[in-house]
Amino acid sequence: MTARDLATAMERVQSVLTRRPETGLHDDAPAAVRWCGDTRMVARHPGGLQFETDMPTELGGTGDRVTPGWMMRAGLAACTATVVAMKAAARGIPLTTLEVDVGSRSDARGLLGMTDDDGTPVDAGSRDVTMHVRLCAPGVPAERLRALVDESCRCSPILRVLSDGADVALRVDVAESGQSAANRPAGLAAAGAASPAHEGP
């Protein structure tokens, strides 16, 4: 798909949403994760794609797979870069380079439920999150490219949920001993059996 094709697709969607704004809100494709023992997990997409995560060896994992935290950083980087590319295409900005690096710091004590010396629970969340965007579009002023990135950050769904927070509705189902995913109740159907859903960014 060329930049013009991408711009045309966005114009088409925006036209539909202008006429029928109620169609903009949709269910995103669910992510289903299955425990494979120890700290190894397999994440599944409704379309059939799956990948594994694991923890570093010092935290009981094998260290040969990416961690869930890395997936979060990769998702943030990919989501933001995608929005930049979409907006650049819509504005006729000819990008030749677009790279996004995301870093953060974490305190392993939070993951383990530990507290500081004063008894305060250590935050398990990532902190000091940084994002570095590098882009090039010959002939386009740097100020315009920086404005493009700023606008894209305001429209990046993953950046917005990480920056603004979102309520998570938690449901816990306790299966009977020996019950597997294959014979669990219909309410716990695998992601692939869920109703059709949009990908989400």
For residues 67, 69, 74, 77, the Cα torsion angle rounded to the nearest 10 degrees is -170
Distance CA 18, CA 89 (A): 20
**75 burial class (0-12, 13-18, 19+ CB within 10 angstroms)?**
middle
Residue type at position 113: G
Write down all domains in the chain, each with its CATH number in brackets.
Answer: 67-164 (3.30.300.20)
Interval 110-126 mean pLDDT: 95
User: pLDDT tens digits, residue range 154-175?
Assistant: 999 999 999 998 899 999 999 8
* Residue whose token pair is 């710091």: 105
Q: Please give the model's pTM, rounded to 2 decimal places.
A: 0.83
Per-residue pLDDT, 193: 36
Burial code (b: 16+ CB inside 10 Å, e: under 16) for 120-132 equals eeeeeebeebebe
Interval 100-106 mean pLDDT: 97
Distance CA 64, CA 56 (A): 8
Contact 88, 137 (CB under 8 A): yes
DSSP 107: -
Q: Decide which of 16 and 186 is more confident.
A: 16
Q: Angle CA(46)–CA(51)–CA(57) in degrees, nearest 5?
A: 145
